[in-house]
Chain A
Amino acid sequence: MNGADTAFVLISAALVMLMTPALAFFYGGMVRVKSALNMLMMSFISLGIVSVLWVLFGYSLAFGDDIGAGLLGDLGHVGFKGITPETLTGGKEGIPVLAFALFQLMFAVITPALMSGALADRVKFSAWSLFITLWVTVVYFPVAHWVWQEDGWLFKLKVIDFAGGTAVHINAGIGALAAVLVVGKRVGFKKDPMRPHSLPLVMLGAGLLWFGWFGFNAGSALAANGVAANMAMNTQVATGAAMLGWLAYERVRHGAFTTLGAASGAVAGLVAITPSGAAVNAFGAILIGLVAGAVCSWAVSWKFRLGFDDSLDVVGVHLVGGVIGTLLVGLLATGGVGGLTQLGRQAAGAFSVMAYSFAVSWLLAKLVDKTVGFRASEDDEVSGIDQAFHAETAYDFSAVGGAPASRSGHQTPAQHLTKKVDA
């Protein structure tokens, strides 16, 4: 067993785990006060659901032995069957399979969570939980198999997806679009103001995402080596460049350098460098970042023109950023890999994942909608989904009211006073 690599992958897994709560804050700050908790929970619940599914059958479907056509893993490792702490990847110098499985689990957790931003404010929490249960099973686990398992058909096609441009970001971005088209617009879309309730939370989330992304990207080398170092460096510079790209576009187009723009640009850069970072040098990374920042900034305005309500721009940031990174690596890859042939492979990978994920995500969203109903009632949506589905509110702004509900053995101050007077 390689101890250094094992330590690096275990630490990277922990870093990637942090990205899901970070994402929850990134999204949570962008919604209105009345749905802040629901937004946090829609991301956070993925840590519960997907962790369990991963052990039951997720790991096996994604990284089990191929069933033949490069489309899916078999059920040989259901319940981690045959995997002990001593089982290693790739012979004596490998790392424990459990370390690899834990690292990959974190990717499976964050991918459906990424989609939650598109459906902010308006879906039933139970329906969302059902949707992501189905979605990881039918969409994520197979696509991860295509891209990362050595018998997967996109792996064999030599599509470069180092850390998840296709399997994670394109997959989540297009899946979110499909779900949005089924669920529909928020009440008051384009009419009511829906400005972010806390940009500091957005900034905190973006910062923690950036931090965790070092595990996501560099950890994907699965070894403490130069590839990981290159990826870590590129993650940093591409993200910085993307922030500048977004802000520059925004300054020209809207006249201000906004906080939300800086946070969004950083995330767009992180997305774009994910598939490509290991195959380019630092200059290529800066170029990818600048392009991703500016183009994603432009892309988010399209939802208003096209009239679909992707609440927090999952399509504009993750789908567009993922496609930019996935295609640019075809051109910018160093070491004789880049070129038009590779660009063709990258396009094949990107568009096959888009087609599959869009179609299946749409069907799953329809299935959820026709059976349990995806959408919250208009009443619940308008009065606030936090109270309706979580029996909580994020903030207590008022000194008046808010007294605890009366329960046996628990009196409100007013009741206490009344009893005293009566006596």
Chain B
Amino acid sequence: MKLITAIIKTHQFDAVKAALQAFGVRGLTVTEASGYGRQRGHTEVYRGAEYTIDLVPKIRIEVLAEDADTDDIVDVVVKTARTGKIGDGKVWVVPVETVVRVRTDERGPDAL
């Protein structure tokens, strides 16, 4: 099993969620996140005092998937989250040892 984590632009979230649902992903976890990549943040001015805002608001999506589906799910996210402009985000995949469904105590792929 794999954990797919995607950091995407906030306004792309609805499209990505819909695409993942259409693909058949049954569950995901979403967090409001903030951070920066190579483009850094932006500047705001208050009465002439300039503030560099490093951290840009983003959405973090986490999906647990079986190994066979992983590449497809990554493709779905990347295709729908892409705007071609700077700051589109990142997707990464890490191995997961086990998953437990809290309600039933099911383990492994059954718990997905």
Q: Which B residues touch A260, using CB under 8 A?
A: 46-47
A339 to B70, CA, bound (A): 83
Q: Which B residues touch A250, using CB under 8 A?
A: 45, 48
| Interface status of A419 (Cβ within 8 A of chain B) | no
| Interface status of A384 (Cβ within 8 A of chain B) | no
**B33-51 to A contact mask, C-beta < 8 Å, 1/0:** 0000000000011111111
In the complex, which range does the number of interface residues on chain A fall in? 10 to 19
**Residues B45 and A258 in contact, CB atoms below 8 Å apart:** yes
A-B interface pairs (CB < 8 A), number: 29
Nearest B residue to A316 via CB reads: B47
Main SS at interface, chain B:
strand
Which residues of B in the span 57-104 have a Cβ within 8 Å of any Cβ on A? none
Which residues of A in the span 298-332 have a Cβ within 8 Å of any Cβ on B? 300-301, 304, 313
> Which of A255, A256, A264, A304 is B49 in contact with, Cβ under 8 Å?
A304
| Interface status of A338 (Cβ within 8 A of chain B) | no
Nearest B residue to A255 via CB reads: B45
| Interface status of A254 (Cβ within 8 A of chain B) | yes
> Which of B45, B47, B51 is A193 in contact with, Cβ under 8 Å?
B51
**Residues A301 and B46 in contact, CB atoms below 8 Å apart:** no
Nearest B residue to A317 via CB reads: B47
| Interface status of A196 (Cβ within 8 A of chain B) | yes
Which residues of B in the span 2-52 have a Cβ within 8 Å of any Cβ on A? 44-51
How far apart are B87's CB and chain A's nearest CB, in angstroms?
20
**Residues B51 and A301 in contact, CB atoms below 8 Å apart:** no
A255 to B50, CA, bound (A): 11
Q: Which A residues touch B46, using CB under 8 A?
A: 195-196, 258, 260
**Residues B48 and A256 in contact, CB atoms below 8 Å apart:** no
Which residues of A in the span 146-180 have a Cβ within 8 Å of any Cβ on B? none
A256 to B44, CA, bound (A): 9
**Residues A254 and B48 in contact, CB atoms below 8 Å apart:** yes
| Interface status of A253 (Cβ within 8 A of chain B) | yes
A261 to B44, CA, bound (A): 13
**Residues B44 and A195 in contact, CB atoms below 8 Å apart:** yes
Nearest B residue to A312 via CB reads: B47
Interface centre among B44, B45, B48 (most CB of A within 10 A): B48
**Residues B47 and A300 in contact, CB atoms below 8 Å apart:** yes
Q: Which B residues touch A137, using CB under 8 A?
A: none
| Interface status of A361 (Cβ within 8 A of chain B) | no
Interface centre among B45, B46, B51 (most CB of A within 10 A): B46
Closest 4 CB pairs of A and B: A301-B48, A254-B45, A300-B47, A193-B51
- What are 15 A-B pairs with beta-carbon distances under 8 A? A195-B46, A195-B49, A195-B51, A196-B46, A253-B48, A254-B48, A254-B50, A255-B45, A258-B46, A258-B47, A261-B47, A297-B47, A300-B48, A304-B49, A313-B47
Beyond the given A297-B48, A313-B47, please list 15 additional residue pairs across the A-B interface where CB-CB is below 8 A: A195-B46, A196-B46, A250-B45, A250-B48, A253-B48, A254-B45, A254-B48, A258-B46, A258-B47, A260-B46, A261-B47, A297-B47, A300-B47, A300-B48, A301-B48
